[in-house]
Amino acid sequence: MNATPTNSETIVSKPGQIIAFPRKSSDGQLDHISPSALKDYLGCSLRFYFRRVLGLPEPTSTALVFGKAVHEALQAFWLARWRDGDTAPETITHAFQEAFERFQTVDSLEIKEVDREKLLTKGKALVLAYLDSDHAKQEVIPAGVEVRLEEDFASLPSPILGYIDLVLPGLMPVDYKTVASTPNVELEAFQHELQLTAYQLLIESATGQKVTSREIVYLVKTKEPRIIVNRMPPADKAAIARFWTIAERAVKGIYEENWYPQPGMHCSWCSYRQQCLNWSGKGHDDELG
C-alpha cells in the first residue's frame, strides 16, 4: 500500500471567501469528495453550504483541539512502531503536549492557564491509557499510518478522498474517536458506517485485496480514561450497494447545489443558526454575515 504519512488536510477560510470545497476544476468537476463531506451534506445540506462552499468560519473548541492532539499522539506512536522508533510513554505524551500547544496557537484557542494544565494532564492520562491498552500492545507492524487514499469509482463523477488513521494487518482500517462519555458502540457504528465503508472501498481499490475487518477505537476522556475497541466485519454487498446509493444522491445534490435547511438535534451545536435564519435561498449570500 502506498501509505504516505501526512497530516490531514486543513481548510483555512476567511469570512465571505469562497474556498476549497467543493473545489471544481475548469470542466466543472469536483476535485474529490471525502467521506466527511458526504456525511456533512447528508446531515444538513445548508450547513454544508455555509461550511464548505462559503467557508464561513466556525469557532474552535477545546474538545476539537484536545481530540486533534490525542489523534496526533497516537499517530506518533504507530509511526514509531512502524519505523522501529521511540514508543516510550514520555515520548508519546510529549507528542500530545506539543500538538496541543501547536493547535491551540493555530486555532487561536484562548483558555485560562489553569484549564490548560488540566487539559494537558487529562490528555496525557488518556494517551497513557491507550499505550497501556491491548490495542497498543498488540505486536503488529501497521500497513499504514494516516493513510491518504484517493480513488476513482465508476459510480461517482469525482474521486473519493480519505485519510485513514491507521491500517493494521488484514488491511483493517482503524478510526479513532475521542469521546466525552462511554459510547453506545452500536449507534456509533451505525452513524459512522458511511465513513468505514468508504475506507474499505478505498483500500480494496488501491490494493486489489479484501479488507478483513474494520475498527473504531474510542478514547473515552472520563476521569478514569477508558479505551473501547469495536471491531466490525467488512461491509457486505448490501451495505456497499447502500453506500453507493447514498453517495450518488449526495454528490448529485452537491453538483446541483441543492442546499436547504434540515433542522434537527444537530442545530444545537451548529455555528450557523443566525445565517440559517437569514438565508432565503434567493441569492443574497452577501447578507449572511
According to DSSP, the β-strands at 214-220 and 172-179 are parallel
Distance CA 217, CA 173 (A): 11
Amino acid present at 52: R
Instruction: Kindly state the smallest distance separating residue 187's Cβ from ligand SF4, in Å.
Output: 20
| Pick 11 or 277: Cβ nearer ligand SF4 | 277
Question: Which of 37, 55, 41 has its CA nearest to residue 159?
Answer: 37
Interacting residue ranges for ligand SF4, rule: CB under 6 A: 44, 46-47, 261-263, 266-267, 270, 272-273, 276
Amino acid present at 229: V
| Pick 130 or 259: Cβ nearer ligand SF4 | 259
Is the dihedral angle over the CA atoms 162, 210, 208, 240 positive or is it negative? negative
Q: Evaluate whether 148 touches 202 at the Cβ level (below 8 Å).
A: no
Instruction: Kindly state the smallest distance separating residue 47's Cβ from ligand SF4, in Å.
Output: 4
| Pick 96 or 272: Cβ nearer ligand SF4 | 272
Instruction: Kindly state the smallest distance separating residue 267's Cβ from ligand SF4, in Å.
Output: 3
List of residues 6+ apart from 22 with CB closer than 8 A: 30, 31, 33, 37, 52, 53, 254
Distance CA 76, CA 84 (A): 12
| Pick 47 or 148: Cβ nearer ligand SF4 | 47
Q: Evaluate whether 262 touches 45 at the Cβ level (below 8 Å).
A: yes
Instruction: Kindly state the smallest distance separating residue 274's Cβ from ligand SF4, in Å.
Output: 9
| Pick 51 or 68: Cβ nearer ligand SF4 | 51
Instruction: Kindly state the smallest distance separating residue 269's Cβ from ligand SF4, in Å.
Output: 9
> Helix (H, G, I), strand (E, B), or coil: what is residue 209?
coil
Instruction: Kindly state the smallest distance separating residue 18's Cβ from ligand SF4, in Å.
Output: 18
Task: State the DSSP code for 234.
Answer: P
Cα 217 to Cα 71, 83, 109, 121, 261: the distances in Å are 11, 22, 26, 21, 32
Instruction: Kindly state the smallest distance separating residue 22's Cβ from ligand SF4, in Å.
Output: 17
Cell of 15: 469570512
| Pick 44 or 131: Cβ nearer ligand SF4 | 44
| Pick 77 or 279: Cβ nearer ligand SF4 | 279
